[in-house]
């Protein structure tokens, strides 16, 4: 059975618990919260091999192409960085910069233990509220727990 887990966090909207749904035709399980915006974790694959992807998004006031570098500042002052991560841009009433980064299980554990203060993509950064930081940390923990259940 293929398991697809989707976790999304919208910074300007409160989110709920991770919901689970299994497609009766394909056997694919999908787990998700609400809508994607500034930080999201996706986990998908089979029970024996899960792949984790971090999606980050920030707003910017000007257009810049070919930016690189993704940084997450945690509330304890430590920084998680992927200096060579390519940054893409789109326009939806303002410029949105985003990237997708493959995560290791160690990265997932880090995001489940620390609270995010700010996200920076290339030169553009956004802060994360305390409430959303706590919620995101909790949801990453929940995804890790759910993926462990599928291994059993």
* Whether this model's pTM surpasses 0.85: no
Neighbours of 146 (CB within 10 A): 18
**In the structure, what pLDDT confidence band is assigned to residue 12 with cuts at 50, 70 and 90?**
very low
Q: What is the pLDDT of residue 11?
A: 30
φ/ψ of 90, rounded to 5, equals -140, 170
Neighbours of 31 (CB within 10 A): 22
The C-alpha atoms of residue 85 and residue 68 are separated, in whole angstroms, by 5
Neighbours of 73 (CB within 10 A): 18
The C-alpha atoms of residue 6 and residue 11 are separated, in whole angstroms, by 16
pLDDT > 70 fraction of the chain, expressed in percent and rounded: 69
In sequence order, the β-bridge partners of residue 90 are: 96
Q: What is the pLDDT of residue 2?
A: 39
The C-alpha atoms of residue 108 and residue 47 are separated, in whole angstroms, by 16
Per-residue pLDDT at 60 exceeds 50:
yes
> Which residue would you say has higher pLDDT here, 102 or 18?
102
Judged by DSSP in three states, 111 sits in helix
φ/ψ of 54, rounded to 5, equals -100, 130
**In the structure, what pLDDT confidence band is assigned to residue 47 with cuts at 50, 70 and 90?**
low
Count of the separate structural domains present in the chain: 1
DSSP H helical ranges for 19-129: 105-113
Q: Domain range for residue 108? A: 2-151
Q: Which residues contact 132 (CB under 8 A, 6 or more apart)?
A: 9, 11
Per-residue pLDDT at 35 exceeds 50:
no
Per-residue pLDDT at 97 exceeds 70:
yes
């Amino acid at each position: 059975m293929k398991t697809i887990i989707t976790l999304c966090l919208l910074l300007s909207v409160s989110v709920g618990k991770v919901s689970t749904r299994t497609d009766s035709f394909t056997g694919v399980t999908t787990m998700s919260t609400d809508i994607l915006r500034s930080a999201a974790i996706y986990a998908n694959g089979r029970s024996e091999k899960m792949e984790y992807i971090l999606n980050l998004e920030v707003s910017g006031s000007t257009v810049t192409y070919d930016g690189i570098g993704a940084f997450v500042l945690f509330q304890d002052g430590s920084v998680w960085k992927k200096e060579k991560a390519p940054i893409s841009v789109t326009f939806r009433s303002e410029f949105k910069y985003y990237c997708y980064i493959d995560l290791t299980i160690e990265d997932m554990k880090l995001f489940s233990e620390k609270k995010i203060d700010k996200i920076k993509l290339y030169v553009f950064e956004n802060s994360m509220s305390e409430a959303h930081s706590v919620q995101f940390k909790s949801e990453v923990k929940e995804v890790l727990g759910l993926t462990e259940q599928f291994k059993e």
